[in-house]
Amino acid sequence: MSKLFRNNIAAMRGYIPGEQPQDSGYIKLNTNENPYPPPPAVLTRLRDACNGDLRLYPDPDAHVLRAKLGEVFSVDSQQIIVGNGSDELLNIIIRSFAGEGDKIVYPNPTYGYYKPLIDIQGATAVPVEFPADYSLPNDLAVPGARITFLANPNGPSGTLLPYSQVAALCARIDGVLVVDEAYVDFSQGGCIRLIDEHRNAIVVRTMSKSFSLAGMRIGFAFAPAELITGMWKVKDHYNLNRLSLVAAEAALENIDVMRAHAAQVCETRQRLSGRLLELGFYVWDSRANFLLARIGESLAGHDAATLYAQLKERRILVRYFQNPPRLADCLRISIGTDAETDALLAALEELLAA
C-alpha cells in the first residue's frame, strides 16, 4: 500500500460487508434484510418526492423526522440525532468520543464494523470474549475506556441481554455506553429509557431491518441532549438526503406495518429454529431476524464452510464467517419469508442426508 496513507489505514483490514450478489434469483438470507416490503405509503411518498425540490439541500436538522421519532418513542427531539444508516452514527460516535490510542471496548464476536471504525480513528480496540452462551462478559467494564459498544440483540448470536444488566453496566463503565439496537424490534427488549437515567448512554437504532428500508440508509440515535449537541458538531450537515427523510417519516406514520412484519419474522424464526434443532444444529436463542446455527455432534462429517458453498450453488445465500475461529462451524441465517425458509430447509435436509 502507498506510503502516503496514515499508518493505521495502511495497516488495517477494510470491512468486508456480506455479499450483495449482482445477479438476481438468490434466496438472500445473508445480510439480515427484511423479507417483506416497506408499506405502500412509503413508496407513494417517495414517488411524490421525486420532483424539482431535489435541487434543494435537505433539512440539515431533520426537524420533521426528529419530531416524529420523538412522538413515537416518547423522547424529546433534543435527544435525537439521525444518520445515513446507523453505521454513520457509529462512525460519528467514535469520532466524537475517542481519539488516537483511546480504548474502545466491545464484547466479541459482535458486529464486525466496530473494529474497522476503531482502526480508522487510530483508537485501540479492546475486544472482550463473550462466554459460550453469549451472556454478559464479567470484565466488560474496562477502566479508562472512552466507548463501550454493546449490540443488543447481538450479532451474530441474536442473543439479548436484559435491561437490568445493561443499566448496571452503564453505571459501572468509564466513558459512553453505546447500545446498538439494530435488531431490537424483533425482541421484547429495548433500552431507550437508559438515556433518562444515565448521562453516558447512547441507544442506536436503524430502519434497515425491522422497517424494511436497508436501501434508504436511515439510522437514529437517542442520548442525553448534552451528548447529542456534541455529536451534532461531528455529523455531515446534510447527512440524510431528501428521499430518505421522506421515507423515514412515512415509515413511522405506518409503524403498524413494521410491527406486523416483525411479528411474522419472529414466528418464522421460531419455526426455523425448531427444525434446525431437529436436524442436529445447535441454535442460540435469537431475538433478532437471524439465527446462529452451529454444526452439532450428530452432524459430524459435515462442515459449515461446505454447507455454505453447497447452499450457494443452490442459489441460497447464508452468512459464513471464517473468523473468529469460534464461528467457523456456524452459519448465520437471516429469517426470510415462509416460502424462502421452506426452500432453505428442503435444501439443508437434502445436503445433510447426502
Ligand X SMILES: Cc1ncc(COP(=O)(O)O)c(C=O)c1O
Whichever of 36 and 310 has its CB closer to ligand X, that residue is 36
Whichever of 158 and 224 has its CB closer to ligand X, that residue is 158
Whichever of 206 and 286 has its CB closer to ligand X, that residue is 206
Judged by CB under 6 A, which of 35, 107, 155, 189 binds ligand X? 155
Query: Cα–Cα distance between 42 and 243 in angstroms, integer?
Result: 10
Residue 287, C-beta contacts closer than 8 angstroms, at least 6 positions apart? 153, 158, 159, 160, 183, 186, 187, 188, 189
Whichever of 73 and 111 has its CB closer to ligand X, that residue is 111
**Minimal CB distance to ligand X: which residue?**
85
Residue 244, C-beta contacts closer than 8 angstroms, at least 6 positions apart? 84, 216, 217, 218
**Site for ligand X (CB under 6 A): how many residues?**
13
Whichever of 221 and 348 has its CB closer to ligand X, that residue is 221
C-alpha cell at 183: 435488531
Query: Cα–Cα distance between 211 and 68 in angstroms, integer?
Result: 15
Which 3-state string (H, E, C) describes the chain? CCCCCCHHHHHCCCCCCCCCCCCCCCEECCCCCCCCCCCHHHHHHHHHHCCHHHHCCCCCCCHHHHHHHHHHHCCCHHHEEEECCHHHHHHHHHHHHCCCCCEEEEEECCCCCHHHHHHHHCCEEEEEECCCCCCCCCCCCCCCCCEEEEECCCCCCCCCCCHHHHHHHHHHCCCEEEEECCCHHHCCCCCCCHHHHCCCEEEEEECCCCCCCHHHCCEEEECCHHHHHHHHCCCCCCCCCHHHHHHHHHHHHCHHHHHHHHHHHHHHHHHHHHHHHHHCEEECCCCCCEEEEEECHHHCCCCHHHHHHHHHHCCEECECCCCCHHHCCEEEEECCCHHHHHHHHHHHHHHHHC
Binding segment for ligand X (CB under 6 A), chosen from 80-88, 140-148, 158-166, 318-326, is 80-88
- Give yes or no for residue 85 binding ligand X (CB under 6 A): yes
Binding segment for ligand X (CB under 6 A), chosen from 81-89, 96-104, 158-166, 276-284, is 81-89
CB 313: neighbour CB atoms within 10 A? 10
Whichever of 102 and 181 has its CB closer to ligand X, that residue is 181
Judged by CB under 6 A, which of 119, 180, 185, 340 binds ligand X? 180
CB of 142 to ligand X, least distance (A): 20
Residues 318-337 close enough to bind ligand X by CB under 6 A:
none
Judged by CB under 6 A, which of 34, 79, 86, 268 binds ligand X? 86
- Give yes or no for residue 32 binding ligand X (CB under 6 A): yes
- Give yes or no for residue 104 binding ligand X (CB under 6 A): no
Residues 105-124 close enough to bind ligand X by CB under 6 A:
111
CB of 156 to ligand X, least distance (A): 8
- Give yes or no for residue 289 binding ligand X (CB under 6 A): no
Judged by CB under 6 A, which of 208, 212, 286, 341 binds ligand X? 208
- Give yes or no for residue 219 binding ligand X (CB under 6 A): yes
Binding segment for ligand X (CB under 6 A), chosen from 59-67, 79-87, 254-262, 317-325, is 79-87
- Give yes or no for residue 87 binding ligand X (CB under 6 A): yes
Whichever of 106 and 281 has its CB closer to ligand X, that residue is 106
CB of 183 to ligand X, least distance (A): 7
Whichever of 130 and 347 has its CB closer to ligand X, that residue is 130
- Give yes or no for residue 58 binding ligand X (CB under 6 A): no
CB of 321 to ligand X, least distance (A): 13
Whichever of 140 and 347 has its CB closer to ligand X, that residue is 140
Q: 255 φ, ψ to 5°?
A: -65, -20
Where does this chain bind ligand X (CB under 6 A)? 32, 85-87, 111, 151, 155, 180, 182, 206, 208, 214, 219
